[in-house]
Each structure stands twice: as C-alpha cells, then as structure tokens.
Amino acid sequence: MIARRGVRGLRVGELAAEAGVSTSLIYYHFTDRAGILRRTLEFISDRADRYTAERDPGQGLGPDPVDPRTELAQVLLLELQDTPEVRENSTAWGELRASAVFDADLREDVAKATHTWVHEIADLLAHARPTGTAPAHAAAAERLTALLEGLSVRWLSGSLPLEHARALLADAIEAELDHA
C-alpha cells in the first residue's frame, strides 16, 4: 500500500480493508502507524536481500561462475526494473527514505539499511577490482548506490525513462570499474 499510495497516502483503515481485517487488528499487530512503517522497512530490506541472492537462479553449479564485474552490474541494475516486486520495493524504499527526513524514529533504521547495502556493493567492487583500496571501494559504492537512488526516484516520478536510467547507471558502473 505504501508503494501504491505513498507514506503520505497510507491509511490504516484502507490497509485493513485491503487485508480483509478490521482496523483494530492492524493496531493489535503493529501498535501504531509508525509501527507499520518500521515493519515495512524490515520487509523490503529482507525481500531485496532475497531477490539479490536469487538472481540468476538457472545455474548453481560450481562456486561463483559469474564474472565479478558482471555480477556487480547485475545487482545494481536489478533495482531499475519494471517488475511489480522491484517497482514496489523501489517505491517503498524511496518513500521511507523521504519520510526519514522528517521522522527521527525512521532515520536510524534507514541509515542502517543504507549502510548494509553500501557495504554489500563495496564487497562486490572489491572482487571486481582487487587492486583498489578499501576506502576507494567504499566511496565508489556510496556514489553508485546514491546515483541509483537518484535515478530511481527520477524514473518513478516520471522525469526519466527507465531504459535511459539503466544506461546512465551502466555507464557509471563501467567508469568506476575502469577508474582505479
């Protein structure tokens, strides 16, 4: 519902109706409106981890059969796709990030999820570019993920076609890999 209507547009009553339960049952399980946001953040973080891990499910023979550079590009470009699950995750993530600007309760969890994500990308960079230093990998990961977030919200807000966003990100990944 957050992905469809935004955090702004989330109505506890509507959420209950969509789930086919009463409003008070939502409060029983989530305590209050802020609880819904917290649990949504957990949900989309877990789901993003899951579909990142499950990408390319057709192989599975032998360890790490994919070129590390390709793997990095796949993982990042995965977030710029017009499938229901990815679009939903990206939209909700953008909403929670934007809400965190005004919601101190959310800030800490959003920062933590960001940190985890940046770290994952930095690890992939370290495999793709073994000569670089750890701080250089961390900085590149921060640039690439921040760029991805910027492109994502432009896509979702209708300022940038999806394919164009993907091309821009792909070029940035390549540039980071060829740099150091």
- Residues making contact with DNA (CB under 7 A): 10-14, 20-25, 27-29, 32-33
Q: Calculate the alpha carbon distances from 36 to 89, 101, 151 in Å.
A: 15, 17, 27
> With respect to a copy of itself, which residue has the nearer C-beta, 71 or 142?
142
Q: Pick the binder of a copy of itself from 81, 115, 123, 133 (CB under 8 A).
A: 115
| Residue among 24 and 116 whose Cβ is closer to DNA | 24
- Footprint (CB under 8 A) of a copy of itself, residues 45-84: none
Q: In angstroms, how far is CA 74 from the centroid of its own chain? A: 14
Does residue number 147 form part of the binding site for a copy of itself (CB under 8 A)? yes
Per partner kind, with CB cut-offs from 5 to 8 A, the member of a copy of itself, DNA, none near residue 154 is a copy of itself
Does 26 bind a copy of itself (CB under 8 A)? Our answer is no
The entry of a copy of itself, DNA, none near residue 21 (CB within 5 to 8 angstroms by kind) is DNA
Cα angle at 86 between 120 and 90, to 5 degrees? 75
Per rule CB under 8 A, is residue 99 in the interface with a copy of itself? Answer: yes
Question: Hunting for tokens 């679009």 — which residue is that?
Answer: 87
100 burial class (0-12, 13-18, 19+ CB within 10 angstroms)?
A: buried
Cα distance between residue 44 and residue 47, in whole Å: 5
Q: How far is CA 76 from CA 24, 31, 48, 140, in A?
A: 39, 35, 11, 13
Query: For binding to a copy of itself (CB under 8 A), which residues are involved?
Result: 5-9, 91, 94-95, 97-102, 107-108, 110-111, 114-115, 139, 142-143, 145-151, 153-154, 156-160, 164, 167-168, 171-172, 175, 179
